[in-house]
Structure 1
């Protein structure tokens, strides 16, 4: 019986899924099964998967229902005591499962173990560090404010904990992993492996309209989250909104093409600051204000030539 089930939701992932599965095959811990849910792909994802010679691999093909439904199908099919998710374009370091499993076994009170992430571009050649946090134990309040796990490829979880909270909310389009983690944190303790073990691939978006759709859906996710937050913690909602708008300002920065886009960035940035003035003491926020001010004076194209800035 495998000890860990690795679940991969895959939609049109023919270009990246081989590399993702290779990073799983190269793990120092080997007693696992891999379940790939081909979520109605219209490219050659299925053909690519069928050519993989891996006895631990199981393929579930279904109609396209979205990442949450795909993950839930993987959970239902899982045969193991522990579950890990990885998106079909992300990568792990080879010690990810070994170190996380040791940590979760060392403490029966722990339901979730997460690691640090680095973002990589679409080509997988450029990287920058994500959050480097040491938040452990009862992380519920911290997770309400911001998703410090950052993505869906990070944690290892006890399957009984996942079953207890009922899996992913299939009605959410963005932030579904954040909402899922919060429900876990309401019942179980978290532990961290203070090491970069996940490479999260950032896919470029060509239009600010797509970021606007993301914003709308993240606000909807936030409202759903706070419907179940105890009354004595409702005061945290402004901090959560501030963190969300701070994230949106950074996201909009990546898609600035004209003066109207620059104005949108400013709106999101100042909304974050008005909701949580402590951001004015944050070096990242000060950097954003400087960058925004420069963009107001020059065109985005000139700014990007003058300075190389990571968003």
Structure 2
């Protein structure tokens, strides 16, 4: 790709990513689109992430080390060091298909107010043979509000950071990552960012390989700090959407987001659960059932989902 193509800055926070970060960087180096820079911020990793990064000699890869401040602070640091017209935030354990960047750049109408997005699928731990492409409910070019509303209809919306290629102008308008947040921080950030665009452009040849099943990943954190972050991110993210459109459909989707919070964090954090339940009622009620399969569904049907969650918690302790 010629150098007159826009520079893409890939911003990669890294924390205890030593087992996977070189694979992620390699997937960037193998891109058919070569006008990129990668800014890695090692956020106080306690494993061998720093040693792995020392093996990188590519001049397009910049590495910064800082004391642990959280993923959002590391992402903001990476952005502050970037120079690109287009920005991609990327986790340090995910992988991109070889034509990912090229495909996204080609579908974007301009590099000021359209955002490119991609296909994605999960693979588990370090086995790409487990990869399965997601058949998400929404593809194609559309307005951001329509995409968000459609994506939130049947399941929790997928806002994984590497899916998006974002003009710097949009991030400058929307603002950076909220450093108060840790768990589901992408929910608040990307709703806020996407609503600043005129259109989302779908690149069907760009595929994100999303690594799942890591025991200590950020998305698996259920501490009090994580629960508080999840609640605040849900409150802020749905608030952005409701400020954009307060119609009944959006209110119900927002209520469903708070109901998912209730299902996830009951009975561990009763005060936060009570606040979320109040939000559900305030927004007109939720339409989503308790997510369960197998014997859990049977128990929930017989005893109710609250009792079922308490029983499962007791069994897990034993």
TM superposition score category, shorter chain reference = 0.7 to 0.9
Residue 219 of structure 1 is matched in structure 2 by: 231
1:247–1:119 CA distance, 2 compared to 1 (3 A)? farther
Asked if structure 2 preserves the Cα contact closer than 8 Å seen for 1:110 and 1:191, the reply is no
| Secondary structure at the counterpart of residue 251 of structure 2 | helix
Match of 1:133 in 2: 138
Shift of 1:187: 1.9
Q: How does 1:1-311 map to 2 (within 5 A)?
A: 3-104=7-108, 106-107=109-110, 110-125=113-128, 126-130=130-134, 131-134=136-139, 136-140=141-145, 142-143=147-148, 146=152, 148-188=157-197, 189-195=199-205, 197-202=207-212, 203-204=214-215, 210=222, 214-228=226-240, 229-230=242-243, 232-233=245-246, 235=248, 236-243=250-257, 245-246=259-260, 275-277=285-287, 279=288, 288=292, 292-294=296-298
- Structure 1 unaligned runs (5+)? 253-259, 262-267, 301-311
1:233 aligns to what SS in structure 2?
coil
CA gap of 1:159–1:109, structure 2 versus 1, over 3 A, is closer
What per-residue deviation string (whole Å, max 9, x for no partner) do you get for residues 209-268 of structure 1?
82786554322212223444428517423322314545885x79xxxxxxx99xxxxxx9
1:129-188 CA deviation, whole Å, 9 max, x = no partner? 433522643222542673644311211111121122221111112222221222222221
Give me the whole-angstrom Cα distance separating, in 2, the residues matched to 1:60 and 1:83: 18
RMSD value over aligned CA atoms? 3.5
Change (3 A) 1:212 1:191: farther
CA change 1:51–1:89 in 2 (3 A) is same
Query: 2: distance between equivalents of 1:132 and 1:94?
Result: 24
Structure 1 contact 239–275 (Cα < 8 Å) conserved:
no
Q: Distance in 2 between matches of 1:210 and 1:34?
A: 31
Q: Distance between the aligned counterparts of 1:82 and 1:121, measured in 2?
A: 29
Alpha-carbon distance between aligned partners in 2 of 1:90 and 1:210, rounded to the nearest angstrom: 22
- Would you say the 8 A contact 2:101–2:206 is kept in 1? no
Q: Is the 1:116–1:149 Cα contact (8 Å) retained in structure 2?
A: no
Aligned pairs, how many?
Answer: 274
Q: TM-score, normalised by structure 1?
A: 0.75
Q: Secondary structure at the match of 1:35?
A: strand
- What are the Cα deviations for residues 276-299 of structure 1, in whole angstroms up to 9, with x where unaligned? 43x57xxxx8x94666334668x9
SS of aligned partner of 1:192: strand
Structure 2: give runs of 5+ residues left out of the alignment.
269-275, 303-307, 310-318
Structure 1 residue ranges, 4+ long, deviating more than 6 angstroms after superposition: none
